[in-house]
Amino acid sequence: MTVPRSTLRLQFHRGFTFDDALRHVEYFAALGVSHLYTSPVTTAVPGSMHGYDTVDYAQVSAECGGEAALRRLADKLRERGMGLIVDVVPNHMGIAGSGAHNAWWRDILEWGRHSAYARHFDVDWHSPDPALRGKVLLPILGAPYGDELAEGRIALRFDAGTGRFTIAYGDHLCAVCPVDYAALLQAAERAELSALAERFHGLTTQPADQPRAAQARDALREYVAQHGLSSIECVLHAYAPDDPVTRDHLHRLLERQHFRLAWWRTAADEVNWRRFFDISTLAAVRVERPDVFDAVHALVFRLYADGVIDGVRIDHIDGLAEPREYCQRLRQRLSELREGAPYIVVEKILARGEPLRDDWPVDGTTGYDFMNDVGALLHDPRGAAPLATAWAELSGRSASFADEAVLARRKILTENLAAELDRAARGLHRIARDNIATRDFTFTSIRRVIGELAAQFPVYRIYPQNGLRSATDNVFFDKALNAARHMLSRADHAVLERVDAWLGSGADELANPREATNLRTSALQGAAAGAFNHAAAARRTVQTLFSQLTAPVAAKAIEDTACYRYGRLLSRNEVGADPGEFALSVEQFHANNLERARRFPHAMLVTATHDHKRGEDVRARLAVLSEIADEWSATLHAWSTLNMPQRRAPEGGEPADDTLVDALTEDWAPGPAAEAMLYQTLVGCWPPDLSVDDEAGIAALAERVAQWQLKALREAKLRTTWLAPDEPYENACRAFLFDLLAPQRRDGFLRELHAFVAHIQCAGVIDSLQQTILRLASPGVPDQYRGAELWDFSLVDPDNRQPVDFENRAALLAEKPPSAFLATWRDGNVKLAIVQRMLALRAHLPELLGQGAYLPLAVQGVHARSVIAFARRQGNAWAVVIATRLAMPLLAGDAKADANAGVNADANAGDRPPCDIPLVEPSRWQDTAVRMPEELVARAMFDWLSPAAPKVDDNGLLYLRDALTSMPVAVLVEDGVPRA
């Protein structure tokens, strides 16, 4: 298998193409990565900035340079001994513009259930709504259908290039079924068009008629090419929307199509096809079907067979009907195409205690689990309770994230994914109706039960096999089951128990146990066998529907709602994390690394992604607040009081005398919760080199934060939403932000903000370097998110997807050890140097950090809790990793650190000025030491990151005052000569 030594994530789009990446290959090689790891390379919706809205699985994106450019990039990587891993999106396709860009989707709009691609998409062609039977809901209209039709915004058009009649609405083009072409052409009452109409007479939607329709359409296209578009204008005029009579013709034509145009607001309640989450421009595909699987992966298979790519990253694995079977099929097919095992990782959100399934033949996840671990490790658990109390007092919301999560799940089920909930409930209701014991279970009661189960579900989904849940599934399903039983009335408990059985508990769902036994005997024949098989298939279907409901509910409710409502500490509100879990102990971190090394030693390790809500260095700095919880709580109250005059009435307006908001009212903008989150965000993302006198720099910061603020307010779905934005409130919030950062606040709030950032930023830098070194030295494949080699103080997208100056980063690469850059840490060179030096170590000793054993090391002494240490061992080769953690008290220059450790403080500790270098003064470590492995006691060890060569004493102790003299992190090896 081509296992990457390390990867670097790139985002391709028309502004950063394959040839752009080609120009920077020398930098990527010099940095030390072994593989580039890219966003999807298939053709996406024109102008896509991410590539996850694929419209053509068979073609490399022309906007990104096309296949020739991709192959040039791969060839250049091969010359440098590097490889390529690409993102694959098997769950959904982009349908923006309706059929304008996606030929598969256009075909089902044109031919309905008889389209060659009708079963490629997950469409419910048998909707209980008569208006949608055999149709696809197209929720694309900006206003109700009747209004848009009357305003003339929906029109019949003719595409001379394809010979198609289409329904046009803005950028959307929806193909008219050729069955209607005869009537369209005859409406013009012209002999030549009537002759063309004859070609379409008698057409049906059956597949056998579709080739004749294509021939007739070609004739029409040739006619228009010869006679000009004016020759067809009379047809369009007969269906013009500007006259009541012809508008009625247009409406009747629309009613006959295989799609129903609808106001975009109808999607949540009525959409009859599976979407990606609640995004109506992304339609889910049924990759579980062999023909769809082959079509989706045709390009990937060809590129892998040709040696262009070495592996794949699978996007949103939980959206698939059968993730296990998908992974098995994918690995088998790739393995058949060339020698060696392919590298396969999956994007999977794992809850604490939830394992990646052993029967998925993959190399691990894309690293959200590691990002969660290392992020939680940065936090002081002693800050959890006081920060939660402060948040509840300030915001008026619950101190518990679990409360916010359940509320958010219920809101998403009610307002965003109601149609998906209905579809799952209908599937269960059909099973109930087929059984005499449950035929009186109503649709409403079943919907109520599964709605509560989904609201209480603690993980993304379950993975039943042969209709039964596994023991691992039941660990999490039972939590939801018990919570639902507590919340539902006793009248619903019988329905809940039966739903539990249908969703794979193993309890028999038939009313008569003897009948169930008989059905399962080897004598199954005829109708009985058919009934049993039908029941089993129905159960598997509803289990899939339920799983494809709980996964988007979790994503939308947790990542995109509750994480924007709960503000105890925003550094824990991240993709893949549970904000209710505040901190992780060193022992737990070691245990998780050991488990990862045992089960998935080649899983990715990330601390930044294209989906993160805050840059890795924002989170690292905010984690420091957990160490000074009381101080931060007091600061929040002080700033809120200081900025009270800037509050706006929710309908907007200047903060003049007539719009001043009373201190006791909650009806103001942005409101207490949003204001508290705003302060955290400003503290977290304030650039290290930004001065309060830099008006241009602060204005640029304000614009960035304003983008985050708007998204945060709408995602929270409290006072404004994407579906129904409250623009006056949003504008008032924006005005509040810009008032806070206005030049006239330079000697007020701005200076206080800057001073507070200066107070904590050295501890934040230590956290940043700690998580960087842990990512690069832990078991797994470290991934470097593009540009985050320097400080990453970005916020949620689009801020975290800004252009990267790779030329500047290349110029900053140096042979000096990272310690040489610590004094000038604000420029980020120290972080870049650590990345470069550690990747060089991985190249120099690939087996040590790639396959070596992971050995937690004990730390003792007064400040033992402020250190994490472990060793990597492969044969006789060793690396010892030591990192400073929870450093704020040790840097603060007061007696807190010693007092917390239970020892006497230095006599002059309170007189020390705040630290300006992110390094604990060596003497402050006192007797803190790492207990080294016996094999290393007599060996000479050198720090890979600095000139230090600390000695282990005769008792096997390595004192921190010796090991961390010039850097807050150290990596000790026997070979002290770095390989660049």
Q: Establish if 372 belongs to a structural domain.
A: no
pLDDT of residue 657: 44
Residue 111 and residue 25 in one domain: no
Asked if 212 and 146 touch (Cβ cutoff 8 Å), the reply is no
Question: Which of residues 526 and 348 earns the better pLDDT score?
Answer: 348
What are the two backbone dihedrals, phi and then psi, of residue 181, each rounded to the nearest 5 degrees?
A: -65, -35
The token duo for 383 is 């800050």
508 band by pLDDT with thresholds 50, 70 and 90: low
**Same domain membership, residue 259 and residue 309:** no
Looking at the structure, do residues 276 and 134 belong to the same domain, yes or no? Answer: yes
Mean pLDDT value across residues 410-428: 97
Give long-range contacts, CB 8 A cutoff, 24+ apart: 494-497. 495/441, 495/445, 495/446, 495/448, 495/449, 496/449, 496/453
d(CA 32, CA 772) in angstroms, rounded, equals 15
Q: Is the pLDDT of residue 885 over 80?
A: yes
pLDDT of residue 529: 65
The model's pLDDT over 314-326, given as tens digits with 9 standing for 90+, comes to 999 999 999 999 9
607-631: pLDDT as tens digits: 999 999 999 999 999 999 999 999 9
Q: Determine, yes or no, domain membership for 575.
A: no
Q: Which domain holds residue 957?
A: 815-973
Mean pLDDT, all residues of the chain: 93
Largest CA distance in the chain: 106
Same-domain check for residues 224 and 108: yes
What's residue 746's pLDDT?
A: 85
- Beta-carbon contacts of 512 under 8 Å, excluding residues fewer than 6 positions away, are none
Within a domain: 98: no
If asked whether residues 216 and 356 sit together in one domain, one would say no
- 222-276 residue pLDDT tens: 999 999 999 999 999 999 999 999 999 999 999 999 999 999 999 999 999 999 9
| Average pLDDT score over residue span 498-512 | 79
| Pick from 481-495, 633-647, 660-674: least confident | 660-674
Q: What mean pLDDT is predicted for residues 176-181?
A: 98
Task: Report the pLDDT value the prediction gives residue 314, as an integer from 0 to 100.
Answer: 98
One domain, residues 312 and 450: no
Split at pLDDT 50, 70, 90, the class of 655 is low
451 with 548, same domain: the answer is yes
- Are residues 300 and 213 part of one domain? no
Task: From 35, 79, 281, 241, select the one nearest 148 (Cα to Cα).
Answer: 241
HEC assignment per residue over 250-282: HHHHHHCCCEEEEEHHHHHHHCCECEECCEEEE
Q: Is residue 770 part of a domain?
A: no
Residue 662 pLDDT > 60: no
Residue 155 lies in a domain: yes
Predicted local confidence at residue 100, as pLDDT: 87
* Average pLDDT of the residues in 57-67: 98
The verdict on 131 and 244 lying in the same domain is: yes
Q: How many CB atoms lie within 10 A of CB 439?
A: 10
> Contact 939/958 with Cβ under 8 angstroms?
no
Per cent of the chain over pLDDT 70 is 93
**Residue-wise pLDDT tens digits, 764-789:** 999 999 999 999 999 999 999 999 99
If asked whether residues 40 and 117 sit together in one domain, one would say no
Quick one: pLDDT at residue 976?
Answer: 63
Cα distances (angstroms) measured from residue 535 to each of 132, 426, 467: 26, 15, 10
Domain assignment present for residue 583? The answer is no
Q: In total, how many domains does the chain have?
A: 5
Specify the pLDDT at position 522: 44
Can you give the pTM of this predicted structure? Answer: 0.94
Token pair for residue 974?
């026997």
Please check whether residues 433 and 539 belong to one and the same domain. yes
> 184 Cβ partners below 8 Å, 6+ apart?
156, 165, 176, 197, 235, 238, 239, 253
In the predicted structure, residue 512 carries a pLDDT above the cut 70: no
pLDDT in tens, 910-954: 444 567 999 999 999 999 999 999 999 988 999 999 999 999 999
User: Which residues pair with residue 260 across a beta bridge?
Assistant: 137
For residue 509, pLDDT over 60 is answered with no
Ramachandran angles phi, psi of 656, nearest 5°: -90, 180
What pLDDT was estimated at residue 188?
83
CATH at residue 950: 2.60.40.1180
Residues 329 and 185: their CA atoms lie apart, in Å, by: 48
**pLDDT score, position 893:** 58
Q: What is the full DSSP assignment across 612-675?
A: -SB-HHHHHHHHGGGGGHHHHHHHHHHHHHHTGGG-B-TT---SSGGGPPPTT-S-SBS-HHHH
